[in-house]
Amino acid sequence: MKITDDIKYIGVNDHKIDLFEGQYVVENGMAYNSYAIIDEKIAVMDSVDVRFKDEWLGKISDAIGTRTPDFLIVQHMEPDHSGSIISFSERYPETKIVASSKAFTMMKNFFGTDFSDRRVVVGNGELLELGRHTLNFIAAPMVHWPEVIVTYDNFDKVLFSADAFGKFGALDVKEDWACEARRYYFGIVGKYGMQVQSLLKKALNLDIKVICPLHGPVLSDNLDYYIKLYNIWSSYGVETDGVMIAYTSVYGHTKAAVELLAEKLKENGCPKVVLSDLARCDMAEAVEDAFRYGKIVFATTTYNADIFPFMREFIENLTERGFSNKTVAIIENGSWAPVAAKKISAMLEKSKNINFSENNISILSAVNDKNKAEISALAEELCK
C-alpha cells in the first residue's frame, strides 16, 4: 500500500490474536503497522510482533528491492512493535538502529543487546536527513511508555504517531474508527491525558497532511475530526451529550430500577441513554462509555459490607485512568445495611471535578413507590 510516492506501508494484520495485551477483546484482530520511507537513504519505521517477522521482512524486501535499509527507527519498544528487531538486525547487519536513549536501555533488557556498534540516539528536536525527506524527532514520553518518540517527515508532511491515534482492529476489516479508537485510547493510553495533551500541542505547530499510527488505518482525510476527538479524550472532556448507567444486579431489583430510570430519562428528552450490565458486558466498552458521556449513574448492591465486585473493578478502571469532569448519581441497594453509596463516594474522592447529583437513591431490597418517585426526580435532574 502506497502512502505517498516515497512512503510505503509494510505492516501486517493479526487475526490469530484473541486478547490484545492479554485483556482486550479484539474480534476483528489487530494491525501492527510499519512503514518504509524510500529516498536517497531508506528508513524503516518500527517493526512488528515477532510472530509476523517473516511476513514483515518479506514486505520490506518487496518495497525496497535489492537495496538495504539505512535506518530502522524504533519509536516504541512495546513487543508488538519491537518484537522483530533482532530478526531485522540479522537480515540487515549494516543498518543503523535509531531510537531514544531509554529505548536502547529497553533493547538491552528485551534482547540482551543495545546495538552499541550501530546505534543512533536521538532526542526531541533532532533531525535525520534521508535526501529530500528530513525526519524531525519529537519526544513523547508516557504516550504511553517513557521511551516513545514520534517522527515528522517535513517533505510529505507525515506524522508517524507511534501508538497515538491508534485503534483496535486489523486493516482488512471495515469498522467505525471512533468506537474502536476510543476503546483503545481509554484502555491503553487514557491514564496519560496530560502527556497526550503535551504531544498534541507540539503537533498542532506542524503542517500535517497524513497521520501514520502503529495500529489502525492511515489517516489522511478530515484530520481535524481525529485531532478534535483526541483533544476531548485527553482533556477528559464530554464527547457526547447523554447519560451512561453502569449497574450490577443480583436478583433483578437493581436492574428494574435502572431500567425505570432509563425510561424516565427518555421521557424527559435525554438525547442518549446507555446501559451497561457490568457482570456481562465488555468491561473495556463500559470504561469507554464512562469517559464518553458527561453524566454517569452508578447502580449497585451492597455486597459483603462493600460494593459488588464488578462495580468495584469498574470504578478502579475509571479512577486509575483519570476519571474527572463528570456529573455522578448513585443508586444503591441493600436488604439490611446498604453502604454502596458511601463506598462509591469514597472511591471517587481523588477524582477531579465530580459533581454529585442532589437525588441519590437507596433501595431496601426492591423498588417501592418512594423509590419510583426518587427515580423520576433523578431523571428530571439529569435531563436539565
| CATH code assigned at 357 | 3.40.50.360
On the 0-12 / 13-18 / 19+ scale of CB atoms within 10 A, 320 is exposed
In terms of Cα–Cα distance, which of 82, 153, 152, 80 is closest to 115? 82
| Domain span at 336 | 240-382
Residue 204: predicted pLDDT: 83
Between CA 194 and CA 175 the distance in angstroms is 29
Rounded Cα distance between 222 and 217, Å, is 13
Q: Which amino acid is at 306?
A: D
Residues 248 and 351 in one domain: yes
Taken in order 372, 382, 265, 178, the sign of the CA dihedral is negative
From 196, 218, 234, give the residue that closes a domain.
Answer: 234
Q: Which of 207, 234, 261 is the last residue of a domain?
A: 234
pLDDT in tens, 237-285: 999 999 999 999 999 999 999 999 999 999 999 999 999 999 999 999 9
Q: Residue 203 has what pLDDT?
A: 87
Residues in the chain where the model's pLDDT stays below 50: none
Identify whether residues 51 and 105 lie together within a single domain.
Answer: yes
Q: Is residue 47 within 8 Å of 85, Cβ to Cβ?
A: yes
Q: Could you write out the three-class secondary structure of 17-75?
A: CCEECCCEECCCCEEECCEEEECCCEEEECCCCHHHHHHHHHHHHHHHCCCCCCEEECC
Q: How many domains does the chain have?
A: 2
| Residues listed for the chain | 384
